[in-house]
Amino acid sequence: MSRPTADSSRHAPALIVRQASPPNLETPFYALDGRLTPQPSHYVRSHFPVPLLDAQTWRLEVGGGVASPLSLSLEELRAMPSHTLSATMECAGNGRVYLSPRMPGVQWDLGAVGTAEWTGVRLRDVLERAGIQDGALEVVLEGADRGTLTDPGRTPGEIRYARSVPLAKAQDDVVLAYAMNGQPLTPDHGFPLRAVVPGWYGMAAVKWLSKLHVTDTPYQGFFQTTDYSYWQHRDGLSPQMIPMTAMQVKAQIARPAPHGSVTAGSVFEVIGTAWTGEGDITRVEVSTDGGETWADTEFLDPAEPHIWRRWRLDWHTPQQPGCVTLLARATDSAGRTQESGHDAGRGGYMVNFPLPITVYVKAEPS
């Protein structure tokens, strides 16, 4: 298969509709091309109807444990020093369809992950402007979207989407973005302002930001406790519920696509990406025999934190027709490697075992 060119005028592949309303749309991962995902092809994950906000009247309220509460307009934020970073964002539910037994929730395949270049202001600059008071522990990020949910867990009536980040992370690399790949945010991606929390699963990247609240106690909102937390074994104790944070090390195969076909006795370019929440990707291996043997792949991108690394491998396909299962396995700079099974304590989230991609080897055309 020839590699598509990086022509920016090329057609951006359409999203797969997992749920029409609210919009839950999946990237066709097999169409992977450049390192950045074109904005029209970037997945969309929303829990509530998309709020259509007016850039003129919208304000970001900054309050809680701060010396001077702020109410910032988009114009005021745009006047602050801007910061641009590229980051891979994966929904914590990405790959859920590979779980057996089936877990409740949107049945994401490979495409609830994407990489974009985000531009905005550093959260630390906004916090500095407000003046953080002593004893601050976390910053709660609240969106303008709201609604009620009954699964998983029941919300106490109508709530807003909100999530917190510890103060250290807030003051390190969190960005409040107003642009994605050089374009203003679209309503689906959080217009006019959203958080980008490098290295963390997508649930932390609050869209339609309306409020920042500095607290001195751990935030215990719905999306921090009932949803987007998992059972962790720690300190030799019975498992505890921990809010999800950093992405787990993971590689995905883009081509061949699941249930696709390849030609017997040919050379097929296997291509994919790999990412990790902390550190960078140092190794990606591929198995074309269901996990018995593994071969090292070649990287197409340099190792950088917070952004995926594309990789490739020339696969000499079998001479005989039949079904073959491919797997990819990544290792990061902290020595973490994908484990072969799914930890039950994660429920339908943080799926990072090597996903089986089954393809059909078809006879060579005569």
Ligand X SMILES: Nc1nc2c(c(=O)[nH]1)N[C@H]1C(S)=C(S)[C@@H](COP(=O)(O)O)O[C@H]1N2
Angle value at C-alpha 160, between 157 and 163, nearest 5 degrees: 125
Shortest reach from residue 341's CB to ligand X, in Å: 24
Contact, 172 vs 245, CB < 8 A? no
Shortest reach from residue 166's CB to ligand X, in Å: 18
Q: 143 contacts which partner out of ligand X, Mo ion, none, CB within 5 to 8 A by kind?
A: ligand X
Does the footprint of ligand X cover residue 95 (CB under 6 A)? Answer: no
Stretch that binds ligand X, among 4-12, 197-205, 248-256, 324-332 (CB under 6 A): 197-205
Shortest reach from residue 205's CB to ligand X, in Å: 5
Q: 207 contacts which partner out of ligand X, Mo ion, none, CB within 5 to 8 A by kind?
A: ligand X
- Of 18, 35, 45, 310, which lies in the binding site for Mo ion, with binding defined by CB under 5 A? 45
Does the footprint of ligand X cover residue 203 (CB under 6 A)? Answer: yes
| Residue 106: φ, ψ to 5° | -60, 130
Q: Is the dihedral of CA 320, 324, 330, 336 positive or negative?
A: negative
Does the footprint of Mo ion cover residue 205 (CB under 5 A)? Answer: no
Stretch that binds ligand X, among 32-40, 44-52, 130-138, 316-324 (CB under 6 A): 44-52
- Of 43, 178, 308, 311, which lies in the binding site for ligand X, with binding defined by CB under 6 A? 43
Shorter beta-carbon distance to ligand X: residue 203 or 326: 203
Does the footprint of ligand X cover residue 202 (CB under 6 A)? Answer: yes
Which residues sit at the interface with ligand X, rule CB under 6 A?
Answer: 42-47, 91, 143, 145, 161, 189, 202-203, 205-208
Which residues sit at the interface with Mo ion, rule CB under 5 A?
Answer: 45, 91, 202-203
